[in-house]
Structure 1
Amino acid sequence: MASPSSSFENHLPRRVITGRGISQSLAAVCQANGWHRPFIVSDSGVASAGLLGPVALPLRAETFTEVPPEPPIDVVDTIAARLKTSGADVVIALGGGSVMDAAKVASLCAWHGKTAREFVGIGKAGGRGLPTVLIPTTAGTGSEATFVAILTDPATGNKVGVVDPCMLADIAIVDPALTDGLPAHITAAAGMDALVHAIEGFIAKVATPLARGLALEASRRIGQSLEVVCREPGNTDARDGMAIGSHLAGMTFANSSCCAVHALALPLGGRFHIPHGVITGCFAGEMMRHNAPVCADDFATLAVALGWGALDATAFASRLDAIAASIGLRTQLRQTSVLSDSIATMARDAVAIRRLMDPNPREVTETDAVRIYQSVLNCA
């Protein structure tokens, strides 16, 4: 069991608004907060799905819809320049994790007059940026609830993190209706990532009591909903469960940490552009197998919360493997080509990400990381 010190902090968005269809109240929310020059950050997928218009038109907002998946760091500087030119007084992110992460950092850049690279690392914000309203259109990253943003450095191909409580949203709006039209492969990858957030946030060495409680409720909702929504995409109860479960899982790791699964995911995703949730979903079972000797009690508690019944640590890890296969993540991973001669370098880079490796309940060496990469990529 994680044992936080007697002193700890909890970090949450300043305000959270949830409910099916609640995003339609965005204009009223902006008016109530005295925001009159909103700027919307989104992506082409959200726009083409018809989700942007109903939000942007009532606000008469300027928009930026060119955030790519796994956003490169220079895109953030482009957004920040547009924010400054527009005179925006609030940044509204409508999209998945890539959109929300880019918007969070851009709000800092525009307010403080710095480049995105100057914020890479932990605790470098130096104060809050422009106000932010974060509205997820996927149920997975939980980025609307966290103070972490992951960007890609094109110079190295690696992913880098901006981590600072100053990036917590002024308002997070969680509207499950925005996820109703998600393609099956995105639903699966995002949902499994949310599950990994809950698990890693529960077992992390730095987990606070709040984080562990949030993790169990997130697990309960995700356990009831993930496989159902992948089988029945029109099931609104399952969509609602995943939206709230994902948000709670984001709150979980914001008050704890992600661990080694995410450390392994960053260099692999940065180099080979594999969707993040595909990686975390496929690697979760093998990493929990590694953690099993020190996590038996925690896994038993999580298994009950997830609705899986009484499972030992080995069976818990195998259940994660089975879900990754049943919802199609293994198939997605098979469709990518990872060069075997990259594994040693990725293992070295993953182990060097101490903000994720240090909280892991069991040490992961470079040899362990190589073994896990090889096992998952060879058996995908």
Structure 2
Amino acid sequence: MPIDQHGDTKLQGLSLRGLPKISLHDHLDGGVRPETIIELGDEIGLELPESDGTALADWFAHKSDSGSLVEYLKTFDLTTAVMQTPEGLTRVAREFVEDLAADGVIYGEVRWAPEQHLTRGLSLEEAVDAVQTGIEEGEEAAEDRGHDIRVGQLITAMRHTDRSLEIAKLAVSWRERGAVGFDIAGPEDGFLPSRHRAAFDYLASEFFPTTVHAGEAAGLESIRSAIIDGRALRLGHGVRIAQDLDIISRAGDEVLVQFGDLARWVRDREITLELSPSSNLQTGAVAAWGEELGDHPFDLLYQLGFSVTVNVDNRTMSRTSLTRELALLVDAFEYDLDDLETFQLNAAAGAFLPIEEREELIELIAEGFER
């Protein structure tokens, strides 16, 4: 099935880009437009590997395709460098929301770590305020173009630093001003969520929802800690939960699987998996199963009833969009519109919103796919 240069394709006569979508796992510093990096970088004298937008986009895609999360994360040095001022943060956030709207997203959650944006004198509060200003400007710009979109912040702490409790309190203080949840990110292997138990205890006491990066660069112990220590309602990636599944036999399309206790808990409690197909290949998260998208355990998890969702992770690094990720899955697993609708309904159900607002999203998705 051909996918055009913008990642779009037609399925059953419909453009995937025009379908209503939910984006749950989308990093702000992973979705900066290359042209914006060049313009903002020029203002601060930042040395860049390329001076042309297309060439810089190629550079990001090449550097990110390393098979290592640690190497993948190094590319963020350039994007975060231009996000250290109120003007830079606001512009990046505004364009981020505009890009979501152009991708057909009707609700998105953008995650980012304020502690990484303080090198030019901003306070944590000022950084969050600048991003929120950009989000609201982007929502207004999208509305002017006839697209309704809402975007909430996932305030994120870096798992290899010691500021998680401080960042958790920051997130809760912004809960009525744009923050919808909390996350920890950064190098996963060797940095279990249990290191941040005090932050997660505080968030639980405030009834503030958490999603935790787990099961991407580390295995079942990381996922277990995310659920027990982090009280995670969603797993950032979570792809390695498939390591807790023992395939007993295959007969055609029939697969007999024995569940481990952790995998059964994640499935039965409908803990949302924020899967990011292209990124999972780039970082080596699915290396145990193969090197092609068709080897990704996405379909196995879906067929077994896990609450799978489709995400981009980092648009710039993976040179992708949510539309493109859906098109790639259709090509790999022969999904139809009903399957794609299920992924969006799973995402709507997992959104960090009140039940009434999640039900509204579900109605919008159903209407959009029916049309």
Higher-helix-fraction structure: 1
Greater relative contact order structure (CA < 8 Å, 6+ sep): 2
TM-score normalized by the length of structure 2: 0.30
Higher-strand-fraction structure: 2
